[in-house]
C-alpha cells in the first residue's frame, strides 16, 4: 500500500472513531431538534414557547456543527474531512453565507429589511439548517438499523411501514388540520399510507381540510415514498463519504432492480439528482398558471408552492392535488395538463429507461449515418444500443397512451367530452389515457364516465407503470411478456421480441405476478362487499365502485368514483392493505416474510390435462 493511501486510511479511521464517540450527542440533538420542531409547527406548543424552542434548536444546531468541526480537527486534512462530511460541510457553508447576507441586509448594517422581517428570516434559517442536519442523522440511523435486518427485502418493506406510522403520527397533531381532532386514527393511517405508497386516494380534502403543515407532511411522504427511503439512505451514505458496503448494495439492488453491486452507488446518486432536476423543471413550467376559485392568478408564493406540490405529486405518480376537483378546473389549460402528463410519463417509465434514452447517441444511428454531413463524422463510431427493457417499455408506453386516448375519445366524445372544443377533447383523451396508469389526477368527473369507460380505465390501471419507476400495477413489461408468451404458445415457439428470446423464468414470474395480483384484488373486493353490506356500496350497484376503488388502491393509481369517504373503518383498512401491498409489491412482500429452503430432492413429474 502506498504511503499516501495508508495515511488517508488512517485519517478516515480517526474520523470514524470520532463520530462513534460523538454518536450519543448526535442522537440527543436529533431527538430534541425533531421533537421541538414537530410539536411547535404541529401547534402542540404555542407562541409563548417560541423563545425556549429557539434556544433548544440553536443548541442542537451547535451540537451538529460541533461534529463537523470535530471531523476537520481530528482528520488534520481539509480534503479528507470534506469528503467525509460533504453534506454537513455544504449545509454549514450555505447557512453561513445566507446568515451573513441577512446580517448585511438587517438594520444592524444596511437596513434593507426591517427588524421583524430579519428576525423571521433568521428563525427560518435556523430551523431549516437544523432540520437538514436532523434528516441526515435519521437516514444515517436507518442505514445502521437496516444492516441489523437479515433480509434486504424485509428492510425494504419495513421502511415503508415505519414511514407510514411516522406520517400518521404527524397528521394526528393539532396543527395538521384546520379542525383539530377531526382526523382520527384510521383516516391518518389511510392518508399516510396513500401518500407514502404514492396512491392519491384520500378520505379528506387535502387542499381544504389540511393546513400547510399537514400538506407539507403529505408532500414529504410522497417524495420519500416515491423514491423509497432506502434510496435516500443510500444517497446520504455516499454523500457522507462512507460509500456503500456489500450488504447496503444488496438491499439497494433489491429495491432498484440493479443486480450489479458496483453500479448501485452511482445509480442511487443519479436517481436522486435526476428526480430533483425533473421536478424543478416541472415547477418552472407550472408556475404562473394557478388560479383561485374566482379565476384570479395566485400570488408568487402560492404559485411556487402549488407548482412544487403538483410537480412532486405528478412525477412520483401520486395524484394528490390541492384542488377539490383535482385538475378538472384546468381542463382548458394545455400547459398544466401537458406538463403534468410529461411528469407522470417520465416518472412512470422508470429511471433506467430515462437514463438509457438520455444517453442514446441518436446521431450515430443507422438512419442518420446515411446523411452525407453526419455519416462522415460518425462512420467510425460504434452503433448506439438501447436495452431490451428500454425498447419494450417505450413501445408499450406509446401503444397504451395512443391506443387508450383513441379508445377514450371514441367512448366519451359524445358523453363526458361533449361540448368541449376538439383540442380540449384531444388533450383530455390523452390525459385520461396517461393518468390511470398509476397517476390519479383527473380532468373529468370519473363518476360521470360511462360504465364501459370505467371498465377500460380498470384495465389500464391493472397494467400500471414500468419497472424501476414511481408507479405501480402489473407493470408494462409483465403484460408484454404475458402477451408474447400467448403468441409463442400459438406459434409453437419460444417468446421473442426485437430478435431476443425471453427466458422461461421471466414468463413464469409474470404468470405468478398476474395470478397474485388478481387474487389479492378478488379477496379485497370480497372483503369490501362484506364490510360495506350495511350501506349502498354493498348493493349490486356499488360493486362497480368498489372494484374500481380496489384496483385503484392496489395499483397505486388514486382515481376514485367518489366512494372513499363513504367507506367504513374496516373498509378503509382493506384499502390501506391494498395500497401497501401494491406499492411494496406482492412478490417482494411474500419473499420478505417467507423463508427460502433449499430443496434436497425433487418429485417425479406427471402431466395433467389443461384447458
Return the pLDDT at 341. 93
Alpha helices in 45-114 (DSSP H): 50-75, 78-84, 86-105
Higher pLDDT, residue 315 or 11: 315
Tell me how far apart the alpha carbons of residues 488 and 504 are, in angstroms, rounded to a whole number.
12
Tell me how far apart the alpha carbons of residues 290 and 169 are, in angstroms, rounded to a whole number.
31
Kindly tell me if the per-residue pLDDT of 340 is higher than 60.
yes
Return the pLDDT at 337. 92
Kindly provide the b/e burial profile for residues 506-517, where b requires at least 16 CB atoms within 10 angstroms of the residue's own CB: ebeebeebbebb
Residue 28's pLDDT band, with cuts at 50, 70 and 90, is very high
- Greatest mean pLDDT range, 382-386, 492-496, 540-544, 553-557: 553-557
Return the pLDDT at 354. 84
Cβ(33)–Cβ(60) below 8 Å: yes
Cβ(246)–Cβ(265) below 8 Å: no
For the chain, the C-alpha Rg in angstroms (whole number) is 26
Length of the chain counted residue by residue: 611
Tell me how far apart the alpha carbons of residues 611 and 608 are, in angstroms, rounded to a whole number.
10
Kindly tell me if the per-residue pLDDT of 268 is higher than 90.
no
Q: Can you tell me the mean pLDDT for 581-605?
A: 69
Return the pLDDT at 1. 44
pTM, full prediction? 0.85
**Reduced 3-state DSSP string for 107-124:** CCCCCCCCHHHHHHHHHH
* pLDDT tens-digit map of 405-449: 999 999 998 888 888 889 889 999 999 999 988 788 888 888 788
Higher pLDDT, residue 541 or 351: 351
Mean pLDDT lowest among 110-124, 397-411, 521-535: 110-124
Residue 2's pLDDT band, with cuts at 50, 70 and 90, is very low
DSSP 503: P
Q: Among 324, 344, 68, which residue's Cα sits nearest to residue 210?
A: 324
List the Cα angle 374/376/382 in 5-degree steps: 85
Kindly tell me if the per-residue pLDDT of 481 is higher than 80.
yes
* pLDDT tens-digit map of 546-561: 999 999 999 988 888 8
* pLDDT tens-digit map of 128-178: 888 888 888 877 776 666 666 666 667 777 778 888 999 999 999 998 998
**Reduced 3-state DSSP string for 384-412:** CCCCHHHHHHHHHHHHHHHHHHHHHHHHH
* pLDDT tens-digit map of 190-229: 999 999 988 888 888 888 899 999 999 999 999 888 876 5
- Greatest mean pLDDT range, 42-46, 217-221, 595-599: 217-221
Mean pLDDT computed over every residue of the chain: 82
Amino acid at each position: 500500500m502506498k504511503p499516501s493511501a495508508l495515511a488517508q486510511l488512517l485519517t478516515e479511521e480517526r474520523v470514524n472513531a470520532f463520530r462513534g464517540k460523538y454518536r450519543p450527542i448526535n442522537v440527543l440533538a436529533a431527538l430534541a431538534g425533531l421533537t421541538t420542531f414537530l410539536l411547535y409547527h404541529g401547534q402542540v406548543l404555542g407562541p409563548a414557547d417560541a423563545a425556549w424552542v429557539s434556544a433548544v434548536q440553536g443548541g442542537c444546531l451547535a451540537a451538529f456543527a460541533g461534529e463537523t468541526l470535530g471531523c476537520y480537527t481530528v482528520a488534520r486534512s481539509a480534503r479528507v474531512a470534506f469528503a467525509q462530511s460533504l453534506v454537513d460541510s455544504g449545509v454549514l457553508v450555505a447557512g453561513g453565507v445566507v446568515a451573513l447576507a441577512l446580517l448585511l441586509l438587517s438594520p444592524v448594517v444596511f437596513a434593507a429589511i426591517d427588524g421583524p422581517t430579519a428576525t423571521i428570516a433568521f428563525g427560518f434559517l435556523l430551523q431549516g439548517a437544523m432540520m437538514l442536519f436532523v434528516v441526515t442523522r435519521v437516514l444515517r440511523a436507518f442505514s445502521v438499523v437496516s444492516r441489523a435486518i437479515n433480509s434486504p427485502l424485509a428492510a425494504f418493506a419495513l421502511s415503508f411501514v415505519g414511514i407510514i406510522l411516522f406520517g400518521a403520527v404527524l397528521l394526528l397533531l393539532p396543527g395538521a388540520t384546520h379542525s383539530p381532532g377531526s382526523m382520527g386514527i384510521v383516516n391518518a393511517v389511510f392518508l399516510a399510507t396513500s401518500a407514502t405508497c404514492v396512491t392519491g386516494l384520500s378520505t379528506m380534502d387535502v387542499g381544504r381540510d389540511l393546513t400547510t403543515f399537514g400538506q407539507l407532511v403529505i408532500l414529504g411522504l410522497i417524495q420519500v415514498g416515491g423514491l423509497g427511503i432506502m434510496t435516500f439512505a443510500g444517497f446520504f451514505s455516499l454523500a457522507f463519504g462512507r460509500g456503500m458496503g456489500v450488504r447496503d448494495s444488496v438491499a439497494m439492488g433489491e429495491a432498484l432492480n440493479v443486480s450489479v453491486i458496483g453500479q448501485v452507488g452511482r445509480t442511487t446518486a443519479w436517481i436522486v439528482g435526476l428526480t430533483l432536476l425533473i421536478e424543478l423543471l416541472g415547477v418552472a413550467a407550472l408556475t404562473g398558471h394557478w388560479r383561485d376559485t374566482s379565476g384570479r392568478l395566485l400570488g408568487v408564493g402560492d404559485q411556487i408552492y402549488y407548482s412544487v406540490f403538483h410537480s412532486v405529486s405528478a412525477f412520483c405518480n401520486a395524484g394528490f392535488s390541492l384542488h377539490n376537483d383535482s385538475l378538472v378546473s384546468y381542463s382548458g389549460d394545455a400547459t398544466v395538463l401537458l406538463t403534468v402528463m410529461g411528469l407522470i410519463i417520465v416518472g412512470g417509465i422508470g429511471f433506467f429507461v430515462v437514463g438509457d434514452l438520455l444517453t442514446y447517441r441518436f446521431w450515430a444511428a443507422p438512419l442518420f449515418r446515411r446523411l452525407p454531413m453526419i455519416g462522415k463524422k460518425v462512420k467510425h463510431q460504434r452503433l448506439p444500443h438501447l436495452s431490451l427493457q428500454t425498447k419494450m417499455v417505450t413501445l408499450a408506453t406509446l401503444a397504451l397512451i395512443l391506443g387508450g386516448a383513441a379508445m377514450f375519445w371514441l367512448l366519451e366524445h359524445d358523453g363526458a367530452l361533449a361540448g368541449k372544443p376538439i383540442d380540449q377533447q384531444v388533450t383530455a383523451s390523452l390525459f385520461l389515457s396517461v393518468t390511470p396508469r398509476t397517476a390519479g389526477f383527473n380532468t373529468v368527473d370519473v363518476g360521470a364516465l360511462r360504465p364501459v369507460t370505467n371498465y377500460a380505465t380498470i384495465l389500464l390501471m391493472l397494467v400500471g407503470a414500468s419497472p424501476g419507476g414511481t408507479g405501480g400495477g402489473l407493470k408494462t413489461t409483465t403484460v408484454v411478456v404475458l402477451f408474447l408468451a400467448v403468441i409463442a404458445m400459438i406459434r409453437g415457439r419460444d417468446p421473442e421480441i426485437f430478435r431476443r428470446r425471453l427466458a422461461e423464468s421471466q414468463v413464469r414470474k409474470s404468470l405468478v405476478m398476474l395470478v397474485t395480483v388478481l387474487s389479492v384484488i378478488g379477496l379485497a373486493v370480497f372483503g369490501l362487499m362484506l364490510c360495506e353490506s350495511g350501506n349502498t356500496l354493498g348493493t349490486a350497484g356499488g360493486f362497480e365502485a368498489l372494484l374500481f376503488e380496489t384496483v385503484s388502491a392496489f395499483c397505486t393509481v388514486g382515481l376514485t368514483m367518489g366512494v372513499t369517504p363513504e367507506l367504513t373503518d374496516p373498509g378503509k383498512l382493506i384499502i390501506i392493505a391494498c395500497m401497501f401491498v401494491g406499492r411494496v409489491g406482492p412478490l417482494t412482500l411474500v419473499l420478505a416474510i417467507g423463508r427460502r429452503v433449499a430443496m434436497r430432492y425433487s418429485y417425479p413429474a406427471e402431466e395433467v390435462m389443461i384447458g
